[in-house]
Amino acid sequence: MQLIFHPCYLEHETGVHPENAERLKWALNEECVKPESGEEFLGLVHSQEYIERVRQACEREVSLDIDTMTSQKSFESACFAVGGTVKASEEGGFALVRPPGHHAPRGGFCLFNNMAIAAVRLANMGKKVLIVDWDVHHGNGTQELVVGKPGIQYISTHQSPFYPGTGLESVANCTNLPLSAGTNDEEYLRVLEPVLERALKEFDPEYVGVSAGFDSMRGDPLGGFELTEHSYLQVCELIKSRNCFFVLEGGYSPLNVERAVKSIVEFFG
Ligand SMILES: [Zn+2]
Model pLDDT for residues 209-220, shown as the tens digit of each residue = 999 999 999 999
Distances (CA, A) of 62 to 10, 22, 70, 105, 204: 18, 21, 6, 16, 43
Percent of the chain with pLDDT over 70: 100
Q: Say whether 62 sits in a helix, a strand or coil.
A: coil
For residue 265, what pLDDT band results from cuts at 50, 70 and 90? very high
Which neighbouring-strand residues pair with 156?
A: 133, 176
Q: Output the CA 264–ligand 1 centroid distance in Å.
A: 18
pLDDT band at 87 (very low <50, low <70, confident <90, very high): very high
Query: What whole-number distance in Å separates Cα of residue 180 and Cα of residue 178?
Result: 7
Which residues are annotated as catalytic?
103
DSSP, res 184:
B
- pLDDT the model gives residue 196: 98
pLDDT attached to residue 42: 98
pLDDT digits (tens, 9 = 90+) for 242-256: 999 999 999 999 999
Decide: 207 and 127 in contact? Cβ < 8 Å.
yes
**Mean pLDDT across the stretch 69-98?**
98
Q: How many Å lie between the centroid of ligand 1 and the Cα of residue 101? A: 10
At 75, the pLDDT band (50, 70, 90 cuts) reads very high
Whether the CB-CB separation of 115 and 211 falls below 8 Å is answered with yes
8 A C-beta contact, residue 261 and residue 96: yes
For the residues 56-68, what does the mean pLDDT come to? 95
Q: Kindly report the pTM of this predicted structure.
A: 0.98
Report the 10 Å Cβ neighbour count for 158.
Answer: 27
Q: Residue 60 Cα, ligand 1 centroid: separation in angstroms?
A: 26
Expressed in angstroms and rounded, the spacing between residue 45 Cα and the centre of ligand 1 is 21
Residues 88 and 4 sit within 8 Å (Cβ to Cβ)? yes
What's the rounded mean pLDDT across residues 138-163? 98
Whether residue 220 contacts residue 255, with contact meaning beta carbons closer than 8 Å, is answered with no
Give the model's confidence band at 178: pLDDT under 50 very low, under 70 low, under 90 confident, else very high.
very high
Give one word for 37, left, alpha or beta, with left for phi > 0 and alpha for psi -120 to 50: beta
**Chain segment 124-148, per-residue pLDDT in tens:** 999 999 999 999 999 999 999 999 9
According to the model, what pLDDT value does residue 246 have?
A: 98
Asked if residue 60 lies in contact with residue 52, where contact means CB atoms within 8 angstroms, the answer is no
Tell me, what's the pLDDT at 157?
A: 99
Burial class (CB in 10 A: 0-12, 13-18, 19+), 255: exposed
pLDDT at residue number 199: 98
Measured between alpha carbons, how far is 13 from 71 in angstroms, rounded to an integer? 6
User: Do the Cβ atoms of 196 and 238 come closer than 8 Å?
Assistant: yes
Q: Which domains does the chain have, with CATH numbers?
A: 2-268 (3.40.800.20)
Q: What is the spatial distance between Cα 203 and Cα 180, in angstroms, rounded to a whole number?
A: 28
- Which amino acid, one-letter code, is at 174? C
**Residue range 69-79: mean pLDDT, rounded:** 97
Kindly give the distance from the C-alpha atom of residue 69 to the centroid of ligand 1, in angstroms, as a whole number: 16
The mean pLDDT value for 182-196 works out to 98
Q: What is the mean pLDDT of residues 157-176?
A: 98
